[in-house]
Amino acid sequence: MGIEGLWQAIAPAADHRSLTELLTTEALKRIENGERLPVVGVDASPLMFQAQGVAIQYRFLVTLLEQWIQTPALFHIVFDGPHRPPRKRGRAVRPQVQQQHYLTGGFRELIDAFGFTSSIAPGEAEAELALMNVEGHVDYVLTPDSDIFLFGALNVIRPPHSEEDWDHIEVYTPGSLQNQDPGALSQAGILFLAVVAGGDYNPVGLEGCGFVTAYRLAQTTDLPQMLERAAKDANATEQLARFRNELQRELLENPHLESKRPSTASKLASNNFPDPLVVCQYANPTTSASTAPRPQILNLAEIKLPNSVLFVCQACRLLQWKWPQVLGTLDGSIWPGHCMREIIQAKYSGINFQIADAETCATANGLGSHAMSGITQREDTTREPGASPTFKYYGVKVRVSCVKVPAMKEYERETGINPDPKKMMRRSAVLWIPAPILSKVYPELVFEHLRDMHRGRRQDSPVRVRSRSASPRSSCRQRTSSAPIAERSPSIEVSSPKLGDEIYARVRKNTLVTTNQHTQALQAREKVY
């Protein structure tokens, strides 16, 4: 959807990244400065359209939510509203089609269960998201629709093309587009491309003028600026007539075109191109800024925790899952996201963490630091495209009974089946938290883990390798290393008896250290103290 050919044209400007690492890096900077977590605005329509083509529609949407909940970011999903343009891609948008998509209700329930927010735009969701991005309500817009550039979005995330790796994304910024082509890829240039080459509101554009010709004209003429002025002028008819005459002349005389376009130029006088309504729809889309009174923007800075009970309810009703599937998603994505958000929330509140004892964990209400009994494992990521080979996860043992028991009761209420007939429920689980986040927010726990390893109190599990895919839980390709962590870690020379203190300070500053380095540091400290 959007302007056909635009994604290929701007491909050189893309920054190929891992979504998880992009948002983790951004979150670390913001936590350090006391700022809110990064907010990603998501266009819901392409996701629901894509979900229609899979066997289990809501399962596809849950897969995306599972990925997002494991990142230290806030997601706001926007749905198309009732005041969309009457025609799109050559088809009339009938009143009944303007009603909510049939997946909207269930999708919004799932969004709420995962602790995210959603809203319905007055018109096109991508136009509303672009406005929210410009005004600073969201930091990135995630959409596969290239119209997002037409509406003026600043920081755009294009989701992956392959379902094999949902974490590999393309990031576009105003700087990267301007560096590639300041003329054709300006907002005025993209408006020109949409009108002349064709877009959602006029799929054909100017008949006989393809994307390559339109792009060359946008690069070498002032036609984009003329069209932009016409779109903003009250007397658009006169301005568009001048634009049409200039476009006709350029099609006949522009030396930068591969060939002249006399037949296309001759049609301009008779077909009244461009349509003023189409230009207006592109340049002045219906958004909350154009409605009176303007609706209040949700507080997107608030960290909301996932609702396990609501998820179980929706998993039973929408997905018809059995308890093992429900527990797998809770254990593999929702509870790790809950735990990470709760300790970040406490960090913002200025709460000082202390290592919890067994009694504190047993009575914990929530999945924050008071429910954590320690780190049990470390897991590495694979060298997938866009992913850093140094990105780590820590497996943290967390008391989860405070959320697990209500979830089990909800499952029994929905299905009439007791998920634990033998009364063998495990009250703790190992939840995977991004190591940089845990080191920044709860460095005491990381230091305790490294110290215990040195003293022989905890046998560190083999390093597991996590693939950078949609759901780390469901598609983890594990490999066991033959050498312990300490043996693989590079050796360092202990040059100062205070090095142990420096190591602890480095952990607090989010600089992960190797087990071997930490062992040498503790040995140095013991000699002195």
Q: Which tens digit of pLDDT belongs to each residue from 252-308?
A: 999 999 888 898 888 887 778 898 989 999 999 999 998 777 877 788 999 999 999
- If you write DSSP's letter for every residue of 417-483 in order, what string do you get? --S-TT----SEEEEEEEHHHHHHH-HHHHHHHHHHHHTTSS-PPPPEEE--SS-TTTS------SS
Q: Which residues contact 125 (CB under 8 A, 6 or more apart)?
A: 43, 44, 45, 78, 79, 80, 81
What confidence score (pLDDT) does residue 469 get?
A: 37
* Residues linked to residue 427 through DSSP beta bridges, in sequence order: none
The 3-state DSSP composition of the chain as helix, strand, coil percent (nearest 5) reads 50, 10, 40
Picking from 77-86, 408-417, 426-435, which range would have the lowest pLDDT averaged per residue? 77-86
What confidence score (pLDDT) does residue 28 get?
A: 96
Taking each helix axis from N to C end, the angle separating 236-253 and 262-271, rounded to the nearest 10 degrees, works out to 160
Element (H, E) at 372: strand 372-381
Residue 162 reports pLDDT greater than 80: no
Share of residues in the chain with pLDDT > 90 (%):
54
Q: Which residues contact 149 (CB under 8 A, 6 or more apart)?
A: 6, 10, 156, 172, 177, 185, 187, 190
- If you write DSSP's letter for every residue of 26-39 in order, what string do you get? HHHHHHHHTPPPPE
What confidence score (pLDDT) does residue 53 get?
A: 59
Secondary structure class of 79 (helix, strand, coil) = strand
What confidence score (pLDDT) does residue 474 get?
A: 40
Model confidence at 101, pLDDT cuts 50, 70, 90, reads confident
Picking from 167-181, 425-439, 456-470, which range would have the lowest pLDDT averaged per residue? 456-470
Q: Which residue has the higher pLDDT, 103 or 523?
A: 103
Residue 391 · residue 371 · CB < 8 Å: no
- If you write DSSP's letter for every residue of 472-518 in order, what string do you get? TTTS------SS-HHHHSPP-----TTHHHHHHHHHHTT----HHHH
Locate 263 and state its tokens: 């037949």
What confidence score (pLDDT) does residue 234 get?
A: 66
Residue 9 · residue 180 · CB < 8 Å: no
Q: Which residue has the higher pLDDT, 48 or 391?
A: 48
Q: Which residue has the higher pLDDT, 485 or 156?
A: 156
On average, the pLDDT of the chain sits at: 82
Per residue in 221-243, pLDDT tens? 999 999 999 998 767 888 999 99
Locate 78 and state its tokens: 């926007």
Burial label for 116, CB within 10 Å (0-12, 13-18, 19+), is buried
Task: Give the span between the Cα atoms of 66 and 473, in whole angstroms.
Answer: 9
The stretch 44-50 carries a mean pLDDT of 89
Buried b (16+ CB within 10 A) or exposed e, 132-166: bbeeebbbbbbbbbbbbbbbbbbbbbbbbeeeebb
Locate 128 and state its tokens: 């509303």
- Quickly tell me which residue has 């800024």 as its tokens: 289
Task: Give the span between the Cα atoms of 336 and 399, in whole angstroms.
Answer: 12
Q: Which residue has the higher pLDDT, 473 or 240?
A: 240
What confidence score (pLDDT) does residue 388 get?
A: 59
Residue 514 reports pLDDT greater than 50: no
The stretch 158-174 carries a mean pLDDT of 84
Residue 466 reports pLDDT greater than 70: no
Locate 473 and state its tokens: 């839980």
* Residues linked to residue 428 through DSSP beta bridges, in sequence order: 399
What confidence score (pLDDT) does residue 99 get?
A: 65
What confidence score (pLDDT) does residue 505 get?
A: 54
Q: Say if strands 392-399 and 428-434 run parallel, antiparallel, or are unpaired.
A: antiparallel
DSSP secondary structure letter of residue 387: -
Per residue in 331-342, pLDDT tens? 999 999 999 999
Task: Locate all alpha helices (DSSP H) within 301-421, ordered by sequence.
Answer: 308-314, 323-329, 335-348, 358-362, 401-415
Q: Which residues contact 429 (CB under 8 A, 6 or more apart)?
A: 331, 335, 397, 398, 400
The stretch 166-192 carries a mean pLDDT of 93
Task: Give the span between the Cα atoms of 498 and 156, in whole angstroms.
Answer: 46
Q: Which residues contact 296 (CB under 8 A, 6 or more apart)?
A: none
Residue 49 reports pLDDT greater than 70: yes
Q: Which residue has the higher pLDDT, 501 or 188?
A: 188
Secondary structure class of 375 (helix, strand, coil) = strand
> Cis link prior to 85 (omega < 30° from 0)?
no
What confidence score (pLDDT) does residue 381 get?
A: 58
Task: Give the span between the Cα atoms of 327 and 315, in whole angstroms.
Answer: 10
- Cα distances (Å, whole numbers) of residue 328 to 84, 91, 435, 450: 39, 42, 22, 29
- All structural domains of the chain: 6-180+286-290 (3.40.50.1010), 189-283 (no CATH), 308-479 (no CATH), 482-529 (no CATH)
Residue 53 · residue 44 · CB < 8 Å: no
Buried b (16+ CB within 10 A) or exposed e, 305-320: bbbbbbbbbbbbebbe
What confidence score (pLDDT) does residue 37 get?
A: 97
Picking from 52-56, 367-371, 404-408, which range would have the lowest pLDDT averaged per residue? 52-56
Picking from 305-309, 411-415, 488-492, which range would have the lowest pLDDT averaged per residue? 488-492
Residue 389 reports pLDDT greater than 70: no
What confidence score (pLDDT) does residue 93 get?
A: 58
CA 241 to chain centroid: 43
Task: Give the span between the Cα atoms of 404 and 522, in whole angstroms.
Answer: 38
Residue 171 reports pLDDT greater than 80: yes
Q: Which residues contact 167 (CB under 8 A, 6 or more apart)?
A: 18, 19, 20, 67, 160, 384, 386, 387, 468, 469, 470
* Residues linked to residue 43 through DSSP beta bridges, in sequence order: 78
What confidence score (pLDDT) does residue 487 get?
A: 30
Task: Locate all alpha helices (DSSP H) within 210-307, ordered by sequence.
Answer: 211-220, 223-232, 236-253, 262-271, 276-283
